[in-house]
Structure 1
Amino acid sequence: MRLPAGGSALLVSVSAGARSRLAFALDYGNLDDAQRGAERVAESVGVLKVGLELFVREGPRAVAIGRKLDRDVFLDLKLHDIPETVERAVASAASLGVRYLTLHAGGGPRMLEAAARRVERERADLVLLAVTGLPSLDAAAPPAGGGTGGPPEQAQGVGGPRRKPGGA
């Protein structure tokens, strides 16, 4: 079995409760490899993650892999744009049946709030996840939301932990 660089096989028997909390990253360069990887682990995981590279290359077909296997899809795009654009992208992700979608918190409160309003308006079963920092970025770069300190302080600077009823 070919897995992404650094990947390892997770082919074990797990309970349904545990499986729902396990995710597998479809970090492949093409749809065929992603499909094969997803099929090999589908019985062991509840979530399939589609990242930026695969989504840009394959579009909604990458999301369809998880939907066809009856798995939740985590679309990891770290959206960061003007509020109206992100709001429309959230609606598009919801229409694809995505369960989890990442936004970059550096887009600010207006962007995050617009995205959350769109989820409510669509009555979608979509969980928005705000990413506050990326470890590979230069440590000297200004943190998301203008916070200072390490990651916990930066996350608080963006607005602190928020959870809506029914959210993950």
Structure 2
Amino acid sequence: MTEITCTCGTVALSLSGQPIMAAECHCTSCRAAAARLGAAITEPNGGTRFVIQRKDRAKVERGAELLASFRLTPQAHTQRIVATCCNSPMWLEFKGGHWLSVYAARWPDSSAPAPELRTMTRDAPAPLPDDLPNARTHSAGSMARLFWAWMRMGFRNPTAADVRRTFNA
């Protein structure tokens, strides 16, 4: 079990089981969200690190009433869940997704799993090192891992509200 918290520690999210993957995203919307949220969630190269976790293995332990949704536009298919007590981005949710993209910056003592790949690098403003696979869009391997996780979930698709409820996975 891993517990991650907002910056001030008022909101806590527990994660059980192994993550689906750890990745660093370079898409334009992740960079725009980081700039608008004013949060220290980006890497020195401009990417945003996420740990991808099944929704049925995530549970808000405390502070659910302090979570709010942030969208770049009203039509956006993604929402960033932010702890309003200290303006800490907690996770990103894709509309219809069965996973949460939890901000690696939320892990204590920089203990988040290391990224396994970079995604959406076609949007990166500068060349990236070749120390990780640099997928220009979403890689087939990462999509296969998401599908495999969904299959193991029985093709269920919990919502962000489900993460706020107490349940066992």
Which bin holds the TM-score, normalised by the shorter protein? under 0.3
Higher relative contact order, structure no. (Cα contacts within 8 Å, ≥ 6 residues apart): 2
Structure showing greater radius of gyration is 1
After TM superposition, the score normalised by the length of structure 1 is 0.25
